Amino acid sequence: MTQSAPVSPLYSRSMRAGDLLFVSGQLPLGEGVMLHPGRVGAEVTVEQAREAAALAARRCLDVVRDELGSLEEVRVVRVGGYVAAGPGFFDAPAVIDAASQFVLGELGENGHHARLAVGVASLPLNACVEVEMAVQC
């Protein structure tokens, strides 16, 4: 099944303010298909959600690359991660760790960041995770 994120005239993939670029929440979509839809701890395992979180983080860095032309001299200052949590699932940080690890793997020291990891009732398109990012450029 092919899915694509709804496009709203109110949505911007990113917004620049001075030397900061804020990347809007990215879903774990690959070639228009949602990776591991559902809620973590119910329909989705922690390992599947970690895979989805890494993909969403990659999509954030893709937006940064598209906007700035490269990832050189970029420093990630904040990652926000949202996890669709099933009943009794309380370990959103374990899922979003994979997004943080991906960023560190791509950018090394420039990938160290502050972070938010929150469990939520639902996410757009039944995504199991959504990741946003702020980078200094």
**Residue pLDDT tens, the chain, 137 long:** 334 555 688 889 999 999 999 999 999 999 989 999 999 999 999 999 999 999 999 999 999 999 999 999 999 999 999 999 999 999 999 999 999 999 999 999 999 999 999 999 999 999 999 999 999 99
User: Nearest Cα to 75, choosing from 50, 97, 106?
Assistant: 106
Q: What DSSP string describes 66-109?
A: HHHSSSTT-EEEEEEEEEEBPTT---HHHHHHHHHHHHHHHHGG
pTM of the model: 0.94
Domains of the chain from N-terminus onward: 24-136 (3.30.1330.40)
Distance CA 41, CA 73 (A): 38
What does the radius of gyration of the chain's CA atoms come to, in whole angstroms?
14
